[in-house]
Structure 1
Amino acid sequence: MPDTRSASPTTTRPVAGTSNYVRQPTIKLPAGTRVESGDAAWRAVLESARGRAGDRGPVIVVDCYPGTDLATVINEIAAALPDADVIDVEEAAARPIADIDARIADNLTDDRVFGVLSHATIDIFYDADRLAALATDLDGRAEPVVLVGWGAALAAPDADALVLVDMARWELQQRHRAGAPNWRCDNGAEDNLRKYKRGFFVEWRVADRHKRTLFEKIDFVLDGNAIGHSSGAGHPAGMITGDAFRTGLADAAKAPLRVVPFFDPGVWGGHWMQQNLGLDPAAANFAWCFDCVPEENSLLLEADGRVVEIPALDLVLLQPRELLGAKTFARFGAEFPIRFDFLDTVGGGNLSLQVHPLTDYIQNTFGMHYTQDESYYLLDASDDAKVYLGLKTGIDRQAMLDDLRAAQRAERPFDTDAYINAFPARKHDHFAIPAGTVHCSGADSMVLEISATPFIFTFKLWDWGRVGLDGVPRPVHLDHGAANIQWDRDTAWVQKNLAAGPELISAADGVREERTGLHELEFIEVRRHWFADRVDHDTAGTVNVLNLVEGDEVEVVSVDGSFEPFVVHYAETFIVPAAVGRYQIRRTARSRSEQFATVKAYVRGTSDGEGA
């Protein structure tokens, strides 16, 4: 998967179109839930805090994800609660940024893209003495006090009310592209790749670790995406109670769901999604759709026609066993290990020639415990579409590396066809790409990429002499790439292992089940089911991720009636949590297609039956 961080700062969410593809899927909150906003929301917080404080002045903590528009939050609280003393905890007690930089220097490294995953906790960003002084100052106050900022809970762990202001990473990246700095940094004009690196390797790791300690005790959750948003959240900043948040996610882990897809342009981007998913036809292109990347995507929680946007990662962190299954959780922890996304090059260009790191390399170099094995499923393709995959038999290793370095120095273009296999790519073909395999999708194809989740770790080898949409050359990492290329994956090996056709598992009662990938080196199993009417499934104790790759519309139905029928349209990715167990996918009364097909991915060795 190519690195996405050189995309244009003019990225937009999709707008209205004619496709049935649902771009704003929602999850219903428990009956009776109210979504408050503005002054009413903050007055509800104060009322709750007063009920616990008794005769003393109530203490309210508003703990904000780094990247929250803190000034706007503080101003809104001050306007809604004029009698309260609103304190910016970051200003009062955070360490100087130079001190923080020194503490995380080894994680950031000098590389433009890659760092080392941080295992720090939030306390390293704060001065313990200043926090203690702030806590002491709260004693004996008669007026309400509101502590605001990332880590505000450190100053008052026993506050009378705790509000979490949460944000999704795609919104944070949009703000970075629009000029926002990292947390307490003066780097708004810095290279977006470096800002993303600081977030990915340090800030977001620490922030997720911190908010997990708050989930069980938060009293309210506020949608930080809609506060000073840059990507058009399209709704006011809603607030729900902590109980509604927890109950809503517990319910979500027992029924099919979709995350909110996000679309992005790229230098090689195409137009298939514009034509087939109802996206803005006036946009230059759409290269990516992140349709199931819970680490980055959002969930829209809905009550009475109003929504609160939260990170989809919250579901993973709060309900890992129910969502992932006990065995998958035991293997990966609270991480969603499977990702589905689209790569659209129809009318566009080739992706960068690239390779992903081996597991041993990614562990030792970057601190990530598993790597990005992947595959390309051709959702659609033009007659001349192709996939570059593996090395041609008999090539000279040193000559290839010398030619790649010459291309990087802009001395001459890299002769891709001299070294890399090019396979014709047809609709419904599926190519496995275990880490260490040189690859890229060619122009004029619509790829459903099914992969493991560590998506940032792509080593570009050759980018066809292009610059990013921001006008800056996209980073190439030849040294990293050369250390991971598996030189024995030549033409014959690829034809046998990565480009073979599907394996028939069964064909009965109008259902054809095929095993379509992935290679034995990869941990993801993929099954394709063709059917005209209905097909039975069972999560067998592990999370299922599916996409409707053929047919107009189906519905996912509970065998025991535990959830309402869940409608899925062509090309939509959906998640069936492990807790669902047995379920059925069937055509709806509105379906007009003669046949349907889904691809389903799950983690090998974690289900109660591999034929699930």
Structure 2
Amino acid sequence: MITVSPLYPLKFYPILKEKVWGGTKLNEIFHKNGAGKIGESWEISSVETNVSEIANGPLKGKTLTWLLELYKEKLVGEKVYKDFGNQFPLLFKFIDACENLSVQVHPDDILAKQRHNSFGKTEIWYILDVEKGGKLIVGFNQQMDQKKYLESLSDNKITEILNAVPVNKGDAFILKPGTIHAIGAGVLLAEIQQTSDITYRIYDWDRPDTNGQMRKLHTALALEAINFNPPKSKLKYTQTKDKPTHIGTSNFFAVNKLVLSKNYIRDLEETASFTVYMCLDGSAIIETDDFSEEIKKGETILIPAQLPEIKFITNSVSFLEVYIP
């Protein structure tokens, strides 16, 4: 019989991804200690073949999948477990684009289910750092329809119709399925998304991958997924200190920013789900009744749903706070 130990704030080993467009900032700024051009650090993942492993406490070495199957609603919350069962619903990443990412689009839940038996991919980007001239591609820069889009693609003029958006540190964007997008060179960001690894690549800047091969494009698959009139993506918020500032909400998750200059007790009962903190700067000790854990810049921690509150011991720290509303 398996002994069920009490749950506590959980840290996971990052899953580092070398990418043709990756850089060195995840090592230099967030101390990820990866080799090569590290483009992504998957902080918490239940994607098949990329399942996170616990890095702290009595459950160290166990996987997120194992954890969810054993603890169920105690880990994620009753409603979340009812809706998603033993599939952890969100994926958390830090992304470093030394070069432009491919221009791509993601399917919605309906299309992803039909084609891949997968969730779709709604995501939020939060800009952590940007070099001079850094941009995102979000949607189109003109009225667009399928005919004009296909003409631009066949004439190799796709870049002429893309909407390039200059960005600054602290900017946030919500990318709904169907929105054509790409992260531009010089941008470091945090990404919160549905658990999905389904991407349709539209254009890849005519470059080879790390093996010297041209990466596959998904022109036909993407066509049905594209929203030619996507909604506005940039989110507006006004930052406050020492209490949560709401950044944005989708149908799948809510994101706050929490900037603390002193100790703070966070009541988590109102969220009714697990809560994840991605540490953007500084450090803090997170305390519960019988456990404490330090979290530093570049680290991510999951607070199980059954914990009613946590205390931050700090004099300077900032987080993204994520839960399922």
Q: TM-score, normalised by structure 2?
A: 0.91
**Equivalent residue, structure 1, for 2:183:** 441
Equivalent-residue separation in structure 1 for 2:169 and 2:150 (angstroms): 33
Equivalent-residue separation in structure 1 for 2:85 and 2:207 (angstroms): 39
Supply the AA of the counterpart residue of 1:441.
I
How far the C-alpha of 1:310 sits from its partner, in A, is 3.7
Larger fraction in strand: 2
Q: Which has the higher contact order (CA 8 A, sep 6+)?
A: 2
Equivalent-residue separation in structure 2 for 1:582 and 1:300 (angstroms): 22
Q: Secondary structure at the match of 2:273?
A: coil
Equivalent-residue separation in structure 1 for 2:285 and 2:202 (angstroms): 42
Q: Secondary structure at the match of 1:309?
A: coil
Q: Is 1:516 matched up with 2:243?
A: no
Q: Secondary structure at the match of 2:87?
A: coil
Q: Is 1:317 matched up with 2:317?
A: no
Supply the AA of the counterpart residue of 1:448.
A
**Equivalent residue, structure 2, for 1:586:** 313
How far the C-alpha of 1:523 sits from its partner, in A, is 1.6
- Map of 1:283-294 to 2, 5 A cutoff? 283-294=35-46
- Map of 1:79-478 to 2, 5 A cutoff? 243=2, 246-247=3-4, 250-251=5-6, 254-280=7-33, 283-295=35-47, 296-300=51-55, 309-345=61-97, 348-368=98-118, 370-395=119-144, 397-405=146-154, 412=156, 414-416=157-159, 418-454=160-196, 456-478=197-219
CA contact (8 A) 1:431 1:499 kept: yes
**Equivalent residue, structure 2, for 1:603:** 324
Supply the AA of the counterpart residue of 2:312.
I
Q: Which structure: larger Rg? A: 1
How far the C-alpha of 1:453 sits from its partner, in A, is 0.8
Q: What do you get for the CA RMSD once the two structures are aligned?
A: 2.2
Q: Is 1:575 matched up with 2:306?
A: no
How far the C-alpha of 1:423 sits from its partner, in A, is 1.2
Supply the AA of the counterpart residue of 1:422.
A
CA contact (8 A) 1:383 1:426 kept: no
Q: Which residues of structure 1 form unaligned runs of 5+?
A: 1-215, 217-242, 407-411, 605-612
Deviations 1:178-223 (A, max 9, x none): xxxxxxxxxxxxxxxxxxxxxxxxxxxxxxxxxxxxxx6xxxxxxx
Equivalent-residue separation in structure 1 for 2:46 and 2:115 (angstroms): 24
Equivalent-residue separation in structure 1 for 2:264 and 2:184 (angstroms): 34
Q: Secondary structure at the match of 1:287?
A: strand
Instruction: Classify 1:328/1:475 alpha carbon distance in 2 versus 1 (closer, same or farther; 3 Å).
Output: same
CA contact (8 A) 2:144 2:229 kept: no
Instruction: Classify 1:377/1:298 alpha carbon distance in 2 versus 1 (closer, same or farther; 3 Å).
Output: same
Instruction: Classify 1:512/1:582 alpha carbon distance in 2 versus 1 (closer, same or farther; 3 Å).
Output: closer
Among 199, 213, 223, the alignment partner of 1:482 is 223
Equivalent-residue separation in structure 1 for 2:57 and 2:298 (angstroms): 23
Equivalent-residue separation in structure 2 for 1:298 and 1:267 (angstroms): 26
Larger fraction in helix: 1
Aligned length: 320
CA contact (8 A) 1:390 1:421 kept: yes
Q: Secondary structure at the match of 1:511?
A: coil
Q: Secondary structure at the match of 2:310?
A: strand
CA contact (8 A) 1:539 1:576 kept: no
Equivalent-residue separation in structure 1 for 2:318 and 2:56 (angstroms): 29
How far the C-alpha of 1:383 sits from its partner, in A, is 2.3
How far the C-alpha of 1:337 sits from its partner, in A, is 0.9
Equivalent-residue separation in structure 1 for 2:33 and 2:268 (angstroms): 36
Deviations 1:474-493 (A, max 9, x none): 2211112110111112xxx4
**Equivalent residue, structure 1, for 2:237:** 502
- Map of 1:41-80 to 2, 5 A cutoff? none
Equivalent-residue separation in structure 2 for 1:301 and 1:597 (angstroms): 21
- Matched residues, percent identical? 22
Q: Secondary structure at the match of 1:266?
A: strand
Equivalent-residue separation in structure 2 for 1:459 and 1:515 (angstroms): 30
